[in-house]
Structure 1
């Protein structure tokens, strides 16, 4: 495909409707040349249709095919690896297209590059938490967040099922699960997407809802206390791979934690077993003890 056809495709995406004369003047070629270019693009699958009349012209269908990528071999291999990785992330938004995209992209590559990818697949894999199927929810939540639209859903919390109305800020993927921060009444709460059911879009829109990136940059205004933890050598190695404790210095971790987060922090610490000790505050020590006692009582 020559550069003029690529430029025509980009122009159609920006203007939606145009006449052959307008294109001919823009690219300094004849109307017949432009018409041949448009015929060639339609043959390749670019979705055009023609409207006749004074206000007519060529129109791009809404579900249009985007311009092809012009990649080097290494870029093509890297892109295919990214597609392979995304196929392993459970419930990726719009994920129903991933397998189709991989097959379509693979089929357009030269045979020698296809052969290289087949060999490369034997030497790399991506292991992800399988999780509970929630692809429809992640897509709907993301669309609602973009539109700043309120949603209603049933949530399976520690105290059972309850119906919630909230404005989603976005979604993020962490340690095998999708999470949705959302404004419920006047507070922003965090929900695990795999615990959500029966999601419904509501009519309310609130333009004051921040984007996920803006929300992540806001500071936590809750009162916090200093937590001091001591890890063993092995515990330190584990902590370096933990988002919560990776700022560890030596074998000691210090950080500010709101008391409301002590139950969550205590549960995280239990996973380290004897590889970590809470030095302070006493309230977090007590939270860990209580969880340990509950675990031991099951075997008494």
Structure 2
């Protein structure tokens, strides 16, 4: 039996036992305790979380994290994993940031030189580039833990309208454009609302687990249009390109043969405030025909900017 096979068997044995002595491993695999100590050192250097306790009644303990059976990846599959990791690089915070770094290092150092060179070359020539988001979400990992445990939380929340205390049952968390969001059932308002993780200042109380009202997948699929309103916009070719690169609007853009286009769909009136900054940025490349509320908001924004500079 090769050393690699023996190490694999010992690793699985240790993961199952959790606590053991060198003599127990030696008896199980019919090897000397000196060889066991050498194998344990090898496994520790490979990243296995083994804690050694000295003394007459000492031994070894596998730390609380569970180990999974090894998976064997081809070089191409491993390179694909590193390529996927690149897409996470511009997030300021990740739920499992340390683990991703650890996985990357372990995978990289187990690869042959040819695969390492391919990964280095990928990083030099191919990238998921986005501006690094500078807004931190320091409570992201804590919130994820409470979501997974289906716990209710009380938080201090800083919104544009002021600070408030929220009593929430989280549904899940998701990332969009560098920011993390938390859809949650607001216990006081008796409805599901959306919160930004970076605006949570403190988790003041954690209450026992409750039955989940819905999953994140169910929440994504159940976004009804509560206040339907028509969104009708004529677009220049540049306006078409900008809207096609915006996930929220991409599906609604109709492109003409000359490159111009239009949007003619039904949206929720509550989303008009969200879309206004985009259309304001497009300026003359987007001619709004409906709804009147969007036209009014654009005019108000333009007036505020003119008033800011008219004294000059």
TM-score normalised by the chain length of structure 1: 0.79
CA–CA distance in structure 1, aligned partners of residues 276 and 219 of structure 2: 25
CA–CA distance in structure 2, aligned partners of residues 224 and 40 of structure 1: 69
The corresponding residue for 2:80 is 78
The corresponding residue for 2:278 is 268
Unaligned runs of 5+ in 1: 20-29, 50-57
The corresponding residue for 1:96 is 98
The corresponding residue for 1:206 is 210
Would you say 1:216 and 2:220 are equivalent positions?
Answer: yes
CA–CA distance in structure 1, aligned partners of residues 224 and 39 of structure 2: 53
Would you say 1:227 and 2:247 are equivalent positions?
Answer: no
Q: What does 1:31-50 align with in structure 2 at a 5 Å threshold?
A: 32=29, 42=40, 44-45=43-44, 46=48
Q: What does 1:131-150 align with in structure 2 at a 5 Å threshold?
A: 131-132=133-134, 134-150=136-152
The corresponding residue for 1:116 is 118
The 3-state SS of whatever aligns with 2:249 is coil
**Maintained 8 Å contact 1:224/1:258:** yes
CA–CA distance in structure 2, aligned partners of residues 279 and 145 of structure 1: 42
Cα deviation code 1:39-58 (max 9, x no counterpart): 89755245689xxxxxxxx9
The corresponding residue for 1:69 is 71
Q: Give the alignment partner of residue 237 of structure 1, picking from 215, 237, 241.
A: 241
Would you say 1:277 and 2:287 are equivalent positions?
Answer: yes
The corresponding residue for 1:167 is 169
**Alpha-carbon distance, 1:2 to partner:** 6.8
The 3-state SS of whatever aligns with 2:254 is coil
Unaligned runs of 5+ in 2: 21-26, 52-59, 256-260
Which segment drifts farther, 185-194 or 58-67? 58-67
**Alpha-carbon distance, 1:290 to partner:** 1.7
**Maintained 8 Å contact 2:234/2:262:** yes
The corresponding residue for 1:194 is 198
CA–CA distance in structure 1, aligned partners of residues 110 and 90 of structure 2: 22
Would you say 1:249 and 2:249 are equivalent positions?
Answer: no
Cα deviation code 1:51-86 (max 9, x no counterpart): xxxxxxx99653133333311111111112223333
Cα deviation code 1:83-120 (max 9, x no counterpart): 33333322111213333332232112112222332233
Q: CA RMSD in A?
A: 3.3
Q: Does the C-alpha gap of structure 1 residues 93 and 230 become closer, same or farther in structure 2, counting only changes over 3 Å?
A: same
TM-score normalised by the chain length of structure 2: 0.76
Which segment drifts farther, 273-282 or 79-88? 79-88
Equivalent pairs counted in the alignment come to 282
The corresponding residue for 1:22 is none
Cα deviation code 1:163-185 (max 9, x no counterpart): 22212211111122111111113
**Maintained 8 Å contact 1:93/1:136:** no
